[in-house]
Amino acid sequence: MNKDFWNDRVVVITGATSGIGKALYEELALFPCELVLVARRAAEITEPKNKHQGAVIHKVACDLADPTSVLDAIQWIGKQVPKIDVLFNNAGITAHGRFESLSMDVYRKTFATNFFGPIQLIRGLLPLLLIAKGNIVTTSTVSALYGVPGRAAYSASKSALHAALESLRIENLESGLGVSLVCVPYTDTALRTSGLDASGGVLSEAPAKGKRKSAKEVAHVLMSVAKDKEARLVTFNLSGKFLEWMRFLSPKILEKILYKKLYEDFKPH
């Protein structure tokens, strides 16, 4: 890893309290850069043990689901930093339940955090990103590539975000702005214990079966993507690449595989 890349960079990280966002913060704090940590519980963010003496850290309390809170964060950041080199658009929420069981409130809450909040934040910070010819790196999911059973609200919100940011990328082909979508695999985070169930309550599910990446491993990949303005849609592993290709080659086979693999997540009760 070229450590010089991060020297003197201004980096914004959303969802910095835990999981991948926290791992990004801790890894980047090793460099002499300026970090703007955006989170609902920003006051809970603690100083990392191995912080570089040249690292500057700002904490910004912001609820992405609240437009007023997002606007306040945009205004504060605009007064605090002259540019943004990298925006790690990382915060998000999941929602689980069959299509007919998901309440409309769950759809609204999921889109508020996964789509409307990030779009508002990116629009507000875009002038600072364009000054630096910066890069927007979004933590996404393979669930955005195809409608996943039991994840209708989650898949839809992430797919919508993909489409909007792809539009942004094309519109800025000559401005030097980078826009990358990174579909991360199952990761050791609190996503399944902090999301929404079908009625809007707090989701409490066991971690996904199978091998999971650590938040630190994912953070390293996101940091690598941030250095590459040509990165567009990035999938981590074979399962991600499989879904990416099968949605075009044979959606019928893909749907049968998803049905069988995830049946326990959406079977009728």
For residue 53, the model assigns a pLDDT of 92
200 within a domain of the structure (yes/no): yes
What's the whole-number mean pLDDT along residues 186-199?
70
For residue 123, the model assigns a pLDDT of 98
157 within a domain of the structure (yes/no): yes
Contact indicator for 39, 61 with CB cutoff of 8 Å: yes
Residue 224's CATH number: 3.40.50.720
Checking if the pLDDT of 1 tops 80, the result is no
pLDDT digits (tens, 9 = 90+) for 69-81: 999 999 999 999 9
Checking if the pLDDT of 66 tops 90, the result is yes
For residue 2, the model assigns a pLDDT of 47
268 within a domain of the structure (yes/no): no
Q: What percent of the chain has pLDDT over 70?
A: 91
Checking if the pLDDT of 206 tops 60, the result is no
For residue 251, the model assigns a pLDDT of 84
263 within a domain of the structure (yes/no): no
Checking if the pLDDT of 267 tops 80, the result is no
What's the whole-number mean pLDDT along residues 211-219?
87
What's the whole-number mean pLDDT along residues 93-121?
94
Among the residue ranges 25-39, 103-117, 227-241, the one predicted with the least confidence is 227-241
3 within a domain of the structure (yes/no): no
36 within a domain of the structure (yes/no): yes
What's the whole-number mean pLDDT along residues 33-47?
94
Checking if the pLDDT of 238 tops 60, the result is yes
The range of the structural domain enclosing residue 69 comes to: 10-237
Is-catalytic flag, 25? Answer: no
Checking if the pLDDT of 52 tops 80, the result is yes
191 within a domain of the structure (yes/no): yes
Checking if the pLDDT of 24 tops 80, the result is yes
Give me the number of domains the chain comprises: 1
Q: How far is C-alpha 40 from the chain's CA centre?
A: 15
Checking if the pLDDT of 202 tops 60, the result is yes
What's the whole-number mean pLDDT along residues 79-107?
94
Checking if the pLDDT of 120 tops 60, the result is yes
196 within a domain of the structure (yes/no): yes
Higher local confidence (pLDDT), 236 or 153: 153
What's the whole-number mean pLDDT along residues 222-250?
87
From 25, 107, 146, 154, the catalytic residue: 154
pLDDT band at residue 171 under the 50/70/90 scheme: very high
